[in-house]
Structure 1
Amino acid sequence: MIRLTELKIPVQLVTDDNKEIELLYQLLNDKYKIKKSDVIELSIFKKAIDARKKHQVIYVYSVDLVCRDEQKILSRKYPNCSIATTPNFNPTITGDLKLKHRPVVIGFGPSGIFASLLLARLGYNPIVLERGLDADTRTKNVEAFWQTGNYNESSTILFGEGGAGTFSDGKLTTLINDFRCHYVLEALHKHGAPKEILYNNKPHVGTNVLKEIIKNIRKEIISLGGEVRFNSFVTDFNIENNELKSLVVNHKEVILTDLCLMGIGHSARETFETIYQKGLNIEQKAFSLGVRIEHPQSLINQSQYGDFAQYLEPAAYKLSYQSKTGRSAYSFCMCPGGYVMCATSEEGGVVTNGMSESKRDGDNANAALLVNVLPKDFHSDHPLAGMYFQRAIEQKAFEVVGKNYYAPIQLVGDFLEDRVSTKIGSVKPTYLPGYRFVKLSDILPNYVTDTLREALIDFDHKIKGFAMADAVLTGVETRSSSPIRILRDDEGMSNIKGIYPMGEGAGYAGGIMSSAVDGLKQVERLIKVYGL
């Protein structure tokens, strides 16, 4: 197979999938003298948008070809032409230590899903314990909360089937460069994701599609002998001689197991406290704190793509700023055409997050604007001090707006002047169940609000209109990452034998892809020790 890179086509010419393939064949003939009749199979390996030149935005492709005479083409020594290589992820069991009981996976977010899937495919018949509910029930209950403000502890957007990522933009981008990412994408595609996720430079699936994908993966796990149990909260860990013996579910049921993969998520605060009391080694970890910002999606489209926006999907952005104070600010989890959500996971607190449907066709763009928070800011050496710091901010936001799960909001122009807003402008807030005008400086630490003000001015130079006076800031965003790290050794195990921490909650990932990959890595580590 041959791989050709740096194939460029103006975006306005690509009107549909058939036209795209036709143009690629034409380009192959013009640039490489490869006729369509020479090609047995053509597949897109990568596709990205180059919008650096606003007078002509282009797609940049890498394509893989199976040709009738590949050696002849390679002998021409064209630039950007090479033999295609795709790493194969096919882990094998080498461990000889026999398990006394079935392995248990705690949490059915990205790390838990892919750890469970790989375990099931290898024949380990895992038991999955998820404290939240299945995707359908969860969605129904969450939507009721958004409409009524009546909090339901069993159904939040942070716990349940798919984890926090179920209610998100379904971003599949990652900063890690790991061949296991292809395994994750292939599994998502097999279970319902569009084929474009396999090659788009910035793939996403949207919350509506992701829910169906996760349900389909669950069905495969069950069909292979696994068990997925919802409303199953692990409330205790029975440990003897520094070794896991069993788990307690919902304070009463005991499940015997000598192996537990713990993908508990970055908001599993009760579990954080339990494992701390049980003696697992935990350390503080930096995270970020801030707000969500909403703009008209049309403003972002025009800024990123200019006149070519009409030919492209809604645009995203990624921004960062370094203050002279040493603090940094950055955009995070940008959701084109999306919505700001109430992501509360504890009674008496306000938390925001963002999501988009697969079409990203909402009127507003939103993203988190965050400032780094360091362990020194916690003013405590307690391993869970960051968690308590988050909680205090969330509870303060809840109290300021009237203890009704409304969100504190402020328009950008008023935020820059540190005054309370009085009316909404051109940008309509999407947060439900409602909002109240406040000064965000009454909730967030000064170093956060001061850094955000500097960053907004800087970002306005990069995206014209970013600091528009009536853009909406919605607070508070506190759950960008875990406030702790559960320490593990080179074999992936905690200081308690049999417990394998993994994913975002354990402090080893950030986002769907890196969490999923960490789950796979943990399975690879344990199958070197434990056989069937």
Structure 2
Amino acid sequence: MLRINEVKLPLDHSEEELKQALLKRLAISASDLIRFSIFKRSYDARKRAAILLIYSLDAEVKQEATVLKRLSSDRHIMLTPNIEYQYVASAPDGLTDRPVVIGTGPCGLFAGLLLAQMGFKPIILERGKAVRERTKDTWGLWRKGELNPESNVQYGEGGAGTFSDGKLYSQIKDPKHLGHKVLQEFVKAGAPDEIMYVSKPHIGTFRLVSMVESMRANIIELGGEVRFSSKVEQLILNNGQVEGVELANGEKIPSKHVVLAIGHSARDTFYKLFEQGVYMEAKPFSLGFRVEHPQTMIDSARFGPSAGHPILGAADYKLVHHASNGRSVYSFCMCPGGTVVAAASEPGRVVTNGMSQYSRNERNANAAIVVGITPEIDFPGHPLAGIELQRKWESKAFEVGGSTYQAPAQKLGDFLAGKPSTEFGVVVPSYTPGVHLTDLSDCLPEYAITAIREAMPAFDKQIKGFGMADALFTGVETRTSSPVRIKRDNDSLQSINTKGLFPAGEGAGYAGGILSAGVDGIKIAEAVALSILHELKVAD
């Protein structure tokens, strides 16, 4: 099989034109082509009047070695690499020490799934509810302003990524192609085949719900166990070695291999782990607002006359500005054709996030516009100081929004002018349970407000109309990533001071998004399996 990269065609090409372009690149006749498939498809929209689709193709041809030798000078043609996943271990018969996985976000699900596929029969514990019950609780906040602190956007089966755009791409280094395994498992669970080849795949919340259920059923079928409403109160430790976990109801589950995939919002768990002596340190994260624009405006600015084309779909963007006060301002978690959602997990606080369905056909585009902050400058001292900083601004947003879980909001033009908003313009807010128009200048640190005010006109130069006066800011966005890193050994992937504890995923500071969290879950599952086998070998 040959891999042919950089095959470029106009946006409205036919399947036959794609085949002919492949034949031309290989300089072979149709009779010499056995079959071909699309490995990746992206687009180049730098020339809006002539947008190109860019393909990587896999082709089976006659006399492959001869063709490859003849085209050896073309760096875009090579043998198709083998990226199929290979399991690192399998569980021995009679294994009694079952690994425990805490959390059922993408990281915990994939750690549990891989351990189950290797025969280790994991016990998976989730403080929240199963995904459909959890969805009902989440709607309770969105529709009624009623927050369930143990079942919400942050807690429950599927993790925070369930109520998001379902983005399945990442910029992580992935030399073992573990991301391919993640996508394959998602397709098996019901995701569309296209996520295997489009450049920026996404799924959307409704599809993620059924996929998560399918993955859970697979884990159980393979001998694993998944338990909901099972909050881990503390680790059971003996001289720096994990020997199990204790649940909030007092139940103790023995295990010398515990995967900690708790997500970035399990604040009470972070504090308990710190009290128990697990090493952790503060890490950088970002603060900001959600901004909404008409999706049609973003489409037109990005795609010009091709706006609305079904292959391109709703346009996204990625922006960054280095402000004169030394702060970096950037767009984060852009959700085309989506909604701004309430993402609080603690009473008396307001948090925003973004979400899209698979169709991405809502009227507004939204993204977080955030400012990077660091522990050295902005929250020095205690390893958990970042959590307290998040809480401070989430509480302020709750207060400024009217103390009803409505979010404070302000039109962009008024934000730049430094005056409160009193009425909406053309952008109708999508946030539920609703927004309260006000002045957002008190909802973030002064340095963040100053940097964002400087960035918006700069972003308008990159995307025409981005600085429109009627664009709407909604606050606050504080959960861009975990404010904590639970440091682990680079080789064993265990906590650097707690043997048998495997910090994993976004909450531990080692992932950011669904795909990277799934990849980290696979890495952790491999490390747990190899650790178990090593200990059995030593014991023999």
Q: Secondary structure at the match of 2:50?
A: coil
What displacement does 1:338 show? 0.2
1:49 aligns with 2:47: no
For the 8 Å contact 1:97–1:530, the answer to whether it is kept is no
The DSSP-based 3-state class of the residue aligned with 1:345 is coil
Determine the structure 2 residue equivalent to 1:70.
Answer: 64
Q: Superposition RMSD on alpha carbons, in Å?
A: 1.7
Q: Which residue of 2 aligns with 1:482?
A: 482
Partner secondary structure for residue 528 of structure 1: helix
Q: 1:26 offset after TM fit, Å? A: 2.1
Could you tell me which runs of 5 or more consecutive residues in structure 1 were left unpaired when the two chains were aligned: 14-18
> Given that residues 288 and 370 in structure 1 are in contact (C-alpha distance below 8 angstroms), is that contact kept between their aligned partners in structure 2?
yes
Mapping 1:223-262, distance limit 5 Å: 223-262=221-260
Deviations 1:91-110 (A, max 9, x none): 32289999652110000011
Q: Distance in 2 between matches of 1:343 and 1:230?
A: 20
**C-alpha separation between the residues in 1 aligned to 2:157 and 2:31?**
47
Identity over the aligned pairs, expressed in percent? 47
Q: 1:262-293: per-residue Cα shift (whole Å, max 9, x none)?
A: 00000000100110000000101110000000
Calculate the TM-score normalised by the size of structure 2: 0.95
State the Cα deviation string for residues 307-345 of structure 1 (Å, max 9, x = none).
Answer: 011322000000011112221010000000000000000
Q: How does 1:341-360 map to 2 (within 5 A)?
A: 341-360=341-360
1:253-292 → structure 2 map (5 Å cutoff): 253-292=251-290
Code of the residue aligned with 2:28 in structure 1: it is I
Matched, 1:6 2:6: yes
Partner of 1:27: 21
In structure 2, give the amino acid aligned to 1:529: S
Counterparts of 1:183-202 in structure 2 under 5 Å? 183-202=181-200
State yes or no: 1:106 paired with 2:91: no
Matched, 1:93 2:95: no
The DSSP-based 3-state class of the residue aligned with 1:361 is coil
Report the residue type matching 2:208 in the other structure: L
Query: Which one of 170, 179, 187 corresponds to residue 174 of structure 1?
Result: 170
Match of 1:37 among 17, 31, 39: 31
**Cα distance in 2 between the residues matched to 1:219 and 1:22:** 41
Deviation for aligned residue 1:462: 0.1
The answer as to whether partners of 2:145 and 2:433 remain within 8 angstroms in 1 is yes
CA displacement, residues 407-439 of structure 1 (integer Å, 9 cap, x when unaligned) = 000000000011100100101000000111121
Are residues 1:520 and 2:514 paired? no
> Do 1:94 and 1:529's aligned partners in 2 also have CA atoms closer than 8 Å?
no
2:252 match: secondary structure:
strand
- Asked whether the equivalents of residues 484 and 505 of structure 1 are also in contact (C-alpha less than 8 Å), the reply is yes
The reply to whether residue 118 of structure 1 matches residue 114 of structure 2 is yes
Distance 2:95 2:392 in 1: 43
CA distance in 1, matches of 2:82, 2:396: 50
Q: What is the DSSP-based 3-state SS (H/G/I as helix, E as strand, rest coil) of the residue aligned with 1:87?
A: coil
Matched residue type, 1:226: G
Task: Determine the C-alpha separation between the residues in 2 that align with 1:297 and 1:232.
Answer: 41
What's the TM-score, normalizing by structure 1? 0.96
CA contact (8 A) 1:411 1:469 kept: yes
Q: What is the CA–CA distance in structure 2 between the aligned matches of 1:355 and 1:36, rounded to whole Å?
A: 45
Answer yes or no: is the 8 Å Cα contact 1:294–1:471 preserved in 2: yes
Say if 1:94 and 1:528, in contact at 8 Å, map to a contact too: no
The alpha-carbon deviation at position 157 of structure 1 amounts to: 0.7
What does 1:421-500 correspond to in 2, within 5 Å?
421-490=421-490, 491-494=492-495, 495-500=497-502
**Which of residues 208, 211, 233 in structure 1 aligns to 2:209?**
211
Match of 2:143 in 1: 147
- Displacement after TM superposition at 1:76 (Å): 2.6
Corresponding residue for residue 156 of structure 2: 160
Q: List per-residue Cα deviations over 1:354-380 (Å, max 9, x = no partner).
A: 000001000000000000111134444
Residue identity matched to 2:217: K
Query: How far off its partner does 1:226 sit?
Result: 0.4
2-side partners of 1:408 and 1:99: how far apart?
54
Q: Is 1:137 the counterpart of 2:137 in the alignment?
A: no
Secondary structure, aligned partner of 1:475: strand
Corresponding residue for residue 16 of structure 1 = none
> CA offsets, 1:145-203, max 9 Å, x none?
21111122232111111100000000011011311111111111111111111111111
What is the alpha-carbon distance in structure 2 between the residues aligned to residue 379 and residue 295 of structure 1? 32
CA positional deviation for 1:143 = 1.4
How many residues end up aligned between the 2 structures?
526
Contact 1:25 1:35 in 2 (8 A): no
Give the SS at the match of 1:55: helix
Distance in 2, matches of 1:119 and 1:493, equals 16
Asked whether the equivalents of residues 459 and 467 of structure 1 are also in contact (C-alpha less than 8 Å), the reply is yes
Contact 2:407 2:475 survives alignment (8 Å): yes
The corresponding residue for 1:368 is: 368
- 2:88 and 2:26 mapped to 1: Cα distance? 41
Q: Residues of 2 paired with 1:280 and 1:91: CA distance?
A: 30
Q: In the alignment, residue 347 of structure 2 is paired with which amino acid?
A: E
Residue type at the aligned position of 2:54: V
Q: Paired residue for 2:123?
A: 127
